[in-house]
Amino acid sequence: MTDLGISSGTHSIEQPTVLGTFAKDLRALELPLPIEGAQQARAEVSGALSQLADHVAPRLASLDAPLLVVVGGSTGAGKSTLVNALVGHPVSRTGAIRPTTRRPVLLHHPEDSAWFAGSRILPGLARVRGDGQPVAAQEALAAVGPDGAPSTSGEEAAATSLELRAEPSIPRGLAILDAPDIDSVSTGNRELARQLLRAADLWLFVTTANRYADAVPWEVLRTAAERDVTVAVVMNRIPDRPGVAEELGPDLRAMLDREGIEVAHLFLVAESDVDERGMLPAAAVGELTGHLRDLAADAEGRGAIARRTLAGAVGRLAGSARDIAAHARVQEAERDRLHGEVVAAFADARDRIEESIGDGSLLRGEVLARWQDVVGTGEFFRGVETFVGRMRDRIGEMLSGKPAPSVAAEQALGTSLVAVVIDETARGAERAEQSWRATAAGRYLAEGQDLSRIPDGYAEEVAAAVRAWQGDVLELVRQEGADRRTKARLMSLGVNVVGVALMIAVFASTAFIPTGLEVGVGAGTAVVGQKLLETIFGDEAVRRMARIARERLTTRLDALVAGRSAPFEQRLAELAGIGGAEAMEADADALEALAHEIREDRGDLPEDPR
């Protein structure tokens, strides 16, 4: 539809942009998380899109189109019998079997056919003629349901098609649509009834003398009041006894007033015998028939009703947009909370890894034994030269064919670090998954997933990263020992020995504490490694090397932890479409402005084509 605007008056709102943008934003909106209010918000989105397509856009595009009068009401209210009486012969099915109205029937004057044969209003419903054959322009649509699936049964056809009947007795400028029961035993019929009522310019609401206080009709009437829809009410089947109509009519009117429901007209129809065709006598609906004929002849009155209902519908859409925006923010907040649970769980895992690195706990057991094989056990060496000499003796032992303690120490340190990373990231994943499964939204994301499972090959990935970092350290030692004087000392001890000493310094909390205070044997041997490094490179260089080595280790550990949290982040990434609250609020502002323009527009109505 290319023209959704009205051009009367001096107003300048661009209605195509307002409605088109709102529809686009609604379709782009995602509300997947099963949190409180989500189902209602999704229904609001669906209802808003239906309202736009079924009524608002087509009515705004053609205020001169025939006024759509939808006849609705509860089961057994006599809607179809009433419609038949208005037409003058049977056109809508009546009877005791429920539901009687399986396919909505739209009655119009033959010269108004063009307004309804296409998809101007209710585009989701296929058009069929009274004989059940599809309208030519709608043949393809009539063969399928709204989701594209073939329509194979009468019940399915009833839910997806609209029967068009051209009736000369219907005055030009009006169309009457007989809708299914609002409380039908069929869920599809109930939903269709509400959809058709949303498409109405004028609601003709039918109730009965003994059921006018039922809850369901009042729920629907309250909805009409919220939308500022023009409503006429028919109280049907009033016992034909003196004083009954005079008593029930004012009582119903008082109930409507208490509920704040403005009713344009209240028609009282006495209970009457029907003829062999199931037809009421014409006199029974004479007042209603006369009112509809007068309305059809009054272009200004029809235009006022259409404009009022349209403005109310647009205003209600603005309210829906704000409600949807509020829920979109709730969805965003829940997504952020779920993300925060993951971040907290893996940040805690990362902190525990960092703690293990910094508190010297890795310098125990096998690591401590292998490091002591490198530097020896016992008291600290009295002087640097003595220490270096002792180290040369141990290097000599390595060259004599004994295993290289520095290699064993490096491997032990790497193995310990790998175990810590795997263990702590596993704990982080378990914590994250447990927190998710504690809420409905989290369970939705975790559904069918084993997010805390250690991925295949993860242990090898961690081991490779640790080995790569150890290679970084050895390369750092080589680069720092490139000058002639330092290189001689480095070569006399070996790159691996000095590299392990630097790794030990990185992993010890007492590293670079000048007091040399021992905190256990592990800390003491770490200080030995520190003294060795300072002897070769000097204090300032050692500090720089340790900082660089630590930074590189931090980078690799961060990547490992991030990789472990990736399954959670991937699930969260599927919620990237959540949002749109700001767009909905902007749409609400624009719709409110449009509703105001429609209400205030006092320009000439489009010329009546008659």
Domains in the chain and their CATH numbers? 66-121+170-297 (3.40.50.300), 338-378+400-513+523-585 (no CATH)
Chain-wide mean pLDDT for the chain?
81
Confidence of residue 566 (pLDDT cuts 50, 70, 90): very high
Residue (of 430, 575, 568) closest to 35 by Cα position:
575
pLDDT of residue 23: 95
Residue 258 has φ and ψ, to the nearest 5°, of -65, -35
What counts of helices (H) and strands (E) characterise the chain?
22, 8
Query: Judging by beta carbons within 10 Å of its beta carbon (0-12, 13-18, 19+), is residue 140 exposed, middle or buried?
Result: exposed
The amino acid occupying position 396 is G
What percent of the chain has a predicted confidence (pLDDT) above 70? 78
Q: Which residue has the higher pLDDT, 384 or 548?
A: 548
Residue 396 has pLDDT above 60, yes or no: no
Q: How far apart are CA 436 and CA 575, in angstroms?
A: 15
Q: What is the pLDDT of residues 581-595, one digit of tens each?
A: 999 999 999 999 999
The amino acid occupying position 555 is T
Residue (of 50, 179, 182) closest to 121 by Cα position:
50
pLDDT of residue 338: 97
Query: Judging by beta carbons within 10 Å of its beta carbon (0-12, 13-18, 19+), is residue 343 exposed, middle or buried?
Result: middle
What percent of the chain has a predicted confidence (pLDDT) above 90? 50
Q: What is the pLDDT of residues 405-451, one digit of tens each?
A: 778 878 888 899 999 999 999 999 999 999 999 999 999 999 999 99
Average pLDDT over every residue of 456-476: 94
Residue (of 312, 374, 348, 367) closest to 498 by Cα position:
374
Q: How far apart are CA 438 and CA 419, in angstroms?
A: 29
Residue 173 has pLDDT above 70, yes or no: yes
Residue (of 392, 373, 375) closest to 526 by Cα position:
375
Q: How far apart are CA 262 and CA 575, in angstroms?
A: 44
532: tokens are 């060795």
Beta bridge partners of 175: 68, 108
389: tokens are 């000499």
Residue 159 has φ and ψ, to the nearest 5°, of -85, -10
State the pairing for strand pair 67-73/105-108.
unpaired
Q: How far apart are CA 111 and CA 100, in angstroms?
A: 29
Confidence of residue 52 (pLDDT cuts 50, 70, 90): very high
76: tokens are 């057994």
What does DSSP assign to residue 111? G
pTM assigned to the model: 0.75
Q: What is the pLDDT of residues 490-500, one digit of tens each?
A: 665 677 888 88
Average pLDDT over every residue of 372-385: 47
Q: What is the pLDDT of residues 306-345, one digit of tens each?
A: 999 999 999 999 999 999 999 999 999 999 999 999 999 9
Query: Judging by beta carbons within 10 Å of its beta carbon (0-12, 13-18, 19+), is residue 458 exposed, middle or buried?
Result: middle
Residue 167 has pLDDT above 90, yes or no: yes
